[in-house]
Amino acid sequence: MLRLLVLLLLLANGLYFVWTQGLLRELGVGPVVQTEPQRLTQQIKPEALIILSPEEARRIEALAAAPKAPPPECLEAGLFDTKQSAALRQTLDERLPTGSWSLLATVQPPRWIVYMGKFANADAATKKKAELKGRSVAFEALRNAALEPGISLGGYDTQTAANQALKELTQKGVRTAKVVQEKPEQRGDMLRLPAVDEKLRPVVEGINEALGGKALKSCAK
């Protein structure tokens, strides 16, 4: 009995070996072939595959994680009269790369405002502002120091537009406002720096003194 059992085990092991080797596939039996030849046909330019070393992979990861430099910014300042422009042009020629700046002849229109004032003192102006807030009437800071202490209820490019705004404010109960010219038409040159990047910015900061107190700001759209 034991001999028969050993022979059956040997026979079973032999049959399993023949099966795993695929020698019985002609009889319709055999293990499932674990291949996917269709994936080979789906490869796109396998010759372009590059194997990176660990050092190269870490370097690429570091570059990807590094903060990106902000995009170049357009800055402008002005207006400058003829004398100021001549002095500024000399400074720009000496310090900034050619093509990185321009001085553009510019006309700034007059500005008209709906105005309240002058008040006797700053406290009176503050009291009037609180009253306007209570009536939901908006106001803004004055751009002409000669009109202080006073209040601007809005600025306009034409006197006609300012008069129309005054009429509408009168209907809201505003009785003591009037239309005045906050500044006249101005002509001069506007400095424009169309593309100030991280490399150029330190150089641009070095010309602030030549701007005569006119701050650089983002270009008007």
User: 51-64: per-residue pLDDT in tens?
Assistant: 778 888 788 787 77
What SS3 string covers 157-193?
Answer: CCHHHHHHHHHHHHCCCCCCCEEEEEECCEEEEEEEE
**CATH pick for 73-108+186-218 out of 3.30.70.2030, 3.30.420.40, 3.30.1360.40, 3.10.180.10:** 3.30.70.2030
Helix (H), strand (E) at residue 95: helix 82-95
- Other beta carbons within 10 Å of 158: 12
Distance CA 85, CA 62 (A): 46
Is the pLDDT reported for residue 124 higher than 90? yes
> In which band, very low, low, confident or very high, does the pLDDT at 112 lie, cut at 50, 70 and 90?
very high
Is the pLDDT reported for residue 19 higher than 60? no
CA separation, residue 113 to residues 53, 120, 166, 171, 177 (Å): 68, 20, 9, 17, 10
CATH entry 3.30.70 includes domain 111-183: yes
Return mean pLDDT, the chain: 85
Tokens of 209: 């003194």
Q: For residue 187, what are the β-bridge partners?
A: 107
Is the pLDDT reported for residue 39 higher than 80? no
- Strand order across the beta sheet in which 73-80 lies: 102-108, 186-196, 73-80, 217-218
- What pLDDT shows up at residue 193? 95
Burial class (CB in 10 A: 0-12, 13-18, 19+), 106: middle
Task: Give the amino acid at 136.
Answer: S
pTM equals 0.54
Q: What are the sequence ranges of the domains in the chain?
A: 73-108+186-218, 111-183
Distance CA 182, CA 114 (A): 9
Q: What is the pLDDT of residues 20-31, one digit of tens each?
A: 666 666 666 666
Domains 73-108+186-218 and 111-183 share a fold: yes
